[in-house]
Amino acid sequence: MRTLAELLANGLLLGGIYALMACGLNLIFGVMRVINFAHGEFLAFGALLGVSLVIGHGVPFLVALVLVAAAMGVFGYLLQAALIERVVDGPPIMSLLLTYSVSTILVNAGILIWGGGYRGMPGVFSGSVPVLGMNLSQARLVAFAIALGLTGLVYGFLARSMLGKAIRAVSELPEIATVSGIAAARIRYLTFGLGGMMAGAAGVLMAPMFASDPQMGARFVIKAFTVIIVGGMGSYAGALVGALLIGIVEVTGGYVLGQTFGTAILYVLMIGFLLFRPSGLFGLRVVAR
Amino acid sequence: MTAWILGGALVAAAAVLPLVTASYLVSFTIQLFLFVVLAYSWNVISGYTGYTSFGHTSFFGIGAYGATLMMLHWKLPWLLACAGGGLLAVAVALPLGVVMLRLRGSFFAIGMFGLARVFEAVAFGWADLTRGGTGLYLPPAYDLRPLYYALGVLALGMVLLTWRLDNSRFGLQLLAIREDEDGAEALGIKTTRLKVRAFVLSAVGPGVSGGFYAVYLSFIDPPTAFSPATELTTIAMVLFGGMGTVLGPLVGAAVLSVLYEGLWARFPQVYLGAGGVIIAAVVLLMPRGVMAVAMRRGWLPHGRGTLRRLAARPAAPAEA
């Protein structure tokens, strides 16, 4: 019974970080119908930049978090403005190919910068904390709290602020938004920046939990895809619920079936949803079939 | 006519190459043949049918592992084992195609990408059979010439098959699916059956050549078998040459192989990223590839052979 509770708790904690990553991915999809294949590399760059700052330059963890998130936000904004904007109106496969190519360029740039090996962040939030009789990793608790806080903050921004409302308007009815005086292109840059910021922050939060390497993106982007497909493409709240669910499925699946086949379970879930419920739990009525 | 003479000369040159030259060029050409096979196979499903796959290394890896295991456990001769690897890839592709081809566009691409990662994870995890990350070793092949000819014949076969496909009813039906699947269905094209057929067809080349690659390296492990770099290079080649064209994959494979070889020798740090840069440049600057540019400039005749012949045929009398 104790193990079950610990599995659920650990799954939930992992899911919180997936939420931060996947909500950004889904925000991007919602606004411009582009699936950002490079989202995993945003996460990897976030993690590796975080390790460089904290371990290499002795920057405090929270300061590094803010710096890296800001840097990845700017990077996402510029990437959209310089490259992806050009294919937004084209066939979806062209934008996917473009983000796929960006992903491979980033992986190799990462290897050039940091080398191919794994980098950890030892000594940051190490050890565990007793919670309700369970021993939970401190790094996971902190990451979960910050990740959910950030996800909520962005949700509040989308719900309340003028800019957030403009983003939602472009997501729902781009033509009407444009004739209402919203500069749709600028909103798209901003959305990509926001997505980059969230993925970068998720990377920094993950760095104390797992060793990071430039090729980690592919492992996590598949999970993020699974999250938004299960949660519902384009739905911010859906991605949040999906992420917590996927975290739990991954941890319990890995415990029951072993690491390898636990990952395969996620994939089966993704294909199952794509085939039988393409709009996911809360999604827009779109597109998969 | 010139095209036939040129093609014949190319084939003849390739046939005598291993008889006259050193092993470096033979080794290079083996890899070129390998990518010609992969590029043409990918072109069938992604170029003609319009289902962009990010996971065709699945079949490459399955073929590689299938052939290697058949050689190790059943002591099959390598050629037979590679054919067996191809059969295995087909046997996997058939049920997968039925399921995966219900997904469209980006979702198919992502689904296939995930699939390759799952196969890789299984190759790691099923250590009793695959020896996991340690990999499987084969007795080294000292004479590469038999392998050279086997891959050369397979590559030539893929080119001829695509040429036939481009001029066939089947090929035009696939193009119709690419342009407007619902429209094609409404016109009575049995889209599901044809898509699955194209998908299975596109798994044969990777399946067989995966085995050849294992023989070439005399080694296989999960990252080699299901390498995203192989996928990336294949896609870059077809995009560069032109998706859904007869000669595009050949041009793409030749140009990029030479380019990669040069980069590998001079700038080994950046050559892996080159595939990404090429895909980005093609998507942004010439999304229909070099072949389309050549047609626009008038270096090649416009349109497809079949359509040109149809258009050139004297019109039927208006009243019967």
Overall average pLDDT of the A136-145 stretch:
86
Would A128 be classed as within a structural domain?
no
Q: How far apart are CA B274 and CA A92, in angstroms?
A: 23
CA atoms within 13 A on the CB side of B254: 10
Residue B320 has pLDDT above 50, yes or no: no
Confidence of residue A287 (pLDDT cuts 50, 70, 90): very low
Domain ranges, ordered by start, for chain B: 27-227
Name the minimum distance, in Å, from the CA of B73 to any CA of chain A.
25
Residue B260 has pLDDT above 60, yes or no: yes
CA distances from B78 to B15, B85, B212, B226 (A): 21, 10, 8, 20
Beta bridge partners of B137: B219
* Domain extent for A106: 2-115+133-276
Task: Enter the ipTM.
Answer: 0.84
Q: How far apart are CA A166 and CA A174, in angstroms?
A: 10
Confidence of residue B229 (pLDDT cuts 50, 70, 90): confident
A222 part of contact set with chain B, CB < 8 Å: yes
Overall average pLDDT of the B282-309 stretch:
79
Q: How far apart are CA A159 and CA A97, in angstroms?
A: 32
Q: Do A288 and B115 touch (CB under 8 A)?
A: no
Beta bridge partners of A131: A134
State the pLDDT at residue A2: 61
Overall average pLDDT of the B30-48 stretch:
94
Q: How far is CA B18 from the centre of its chain?
A: 23
SS3 letters for A200-236? HHHHHHHCCCCCECCCHHHHHHHHHHHHHHHHCCCCH
Q: How far apart are CA A235 and CA B16, in angstroms?
A: 60
Sign of CA dihedral B167, B169, B173, B174: negative
pLDDT tens-digit series, residues A56-100: 898 999 999 999 999 999 999 999 999 999 988 888 888 888 999
Confidence of residue A272 (pLDDT cuts 50, 70, 90): confident
pLDDT tens-digit series, residues A196-227: 999 999 999 999 888 899 989 988 998 999 99
- Burial class of residue B315, CB neighbours in 10 A (0-12, 13-18, 19+): exposed
- Residue A128, SS3? strand
Task: For residue A219, list chain B residues with Cβ-Cβ distance below 8 A.
Answer: 117
Q: Which site among B99, B110, B112, B288 would you substitute to test the A interface, given the most A Cβ atoms closer than 10 Å to its Cβ? A: B110
Q: Which residue has the higher pLDDT, B2 or A192?
A: A192
Q: How many domains does chain A contain in total? A: 1
Count of Cβ atoms closer than 10 Å to residue B176 Cβ: 19
Overall average pLDDT of the B236-240 stretch:
91
pLDDT tens-digit series, residues B183-214: 998 998 899 999 999 999 999 999 999 999 99
Q: Using CB atoms, which residue from B106, B121, B279 is nearest to A92?
A: B106
CA distances from A261 to A264, B54, B130, B263 (A): 5, 21, 15, 38
Following DSSP, what letter does each residue of B142-188 receive, concatenated? Answer: S--HHHHHHHHHHHHHHHHHHHHHHTSHHHHHHHHHHH-HHHHHHTT
Overall average pLDDT of the B255-266 stretch:
85
Residue B312 has pLDDT above 90, yes or no: no
pLDDT tens-digit series, residues A38-48: 999 999 999 99
For residue A166, the domain's CATH number is 1.10.3470
Q: Using CB atoms, which residue from B102, B126, B283 is nearest to A101?
A: B283
State the pLDDT at residue B156: 94
CA distances from A187 to A156, A163, A173, A232 (A): 17, 8, 13, 22
Query: Residue B173: what are its φ and ψ, rounded to 5°?
Result: -65, -40
Task: For residue A262, list chain B residues with Cβ-Cβ distance below 8 A.
Answer: none
Overall average pLDDT of the B1-19 stretch:
82
Strand stretches in B193-280, DSSP E: 219-220
State the pLDDT at residue B303: 66
Question: Average model confidence (pLDDT) for chain A?
Answer: 87
State the pLDDT at residue B252: 92
State the pLDDT at residue A288: 39
CA atoms within 13 A on the CB side of B26: 19
Residue B134 has pLDDT above 70, yes or no: yes
pLDDT tens-digit series, residues A97-110: 899 999 999 999 99
Q: How far apart are CA A59 and CA A64, in angstroms?
A: 6
Overall average pLDDT of the B261-278 stretch:
80
Residue whose pair of structure tokens reads 């990451």 in the numeric block: A143
Sign of CA dihedral A276, A278, A280, A286: negative
Name the minimum distance, in Å, from the CA of A88 to any CA of chain B.
11
A81 part of contact set with chain B, CB < 8 Å: no
Q: Do B106 and A90 touch (CB under 8 A)?
A: no
pLDDT tens-digit series, residues A157-167: 998 999 999 99
Q: Which site among B58, B283, B288 would you substitute to test the A interface, given the most A Cβ atoms closer than 10 Å to its Cβ? A: B283
